Amino acid sequence: MSAERKRATVRTLRYGAISLLLYILLYLFNVEILARSREGGWSFILPMAIAFLFSIVHGGFTGQFWELFGIRARTTKK
């Protein structure tokens, strides 16, 4: 296994582990998160921040996953 492939594998596993951890935390603390977001004021930002965090981490995982298998977007020449 080449060094680049090892790095890609480690990055993929790292993003996957972080994504899994976020889903577990969301499951465990869903009641607290809902209660906090219903308090009013600026608390409505909490669910949006969580969704943004999930988007960043899961997007990183998905990108690294496809990169690991060598699948890339097709580029078009202009």
Percentage with pLDDT > 70 across the chain: 100
* Residue, of 48 and 77, whose pLDDT is higher: 48
What is the average per-residue pLDDT within 62-71?
Answer: 91
Average pLDDT across the chain, whole number: 92
- What are the angstrom distances between the C-alpha of 55 and each of 1, 34, 38, 60, 77? 30, 19, 22, 8, 30
User: What's the pTM value of the predicted model, to 2 decimals?
Assistant: 0.82
What are the sequence ranges of the domains in the chain? 3-68
What is the average per-residue pLDDT within 27-39?
Answer: 95
The predicted pLDDT at position 73 comes to: 81
What is the average per-residue pLDDT within 22-37?
Answer: 96
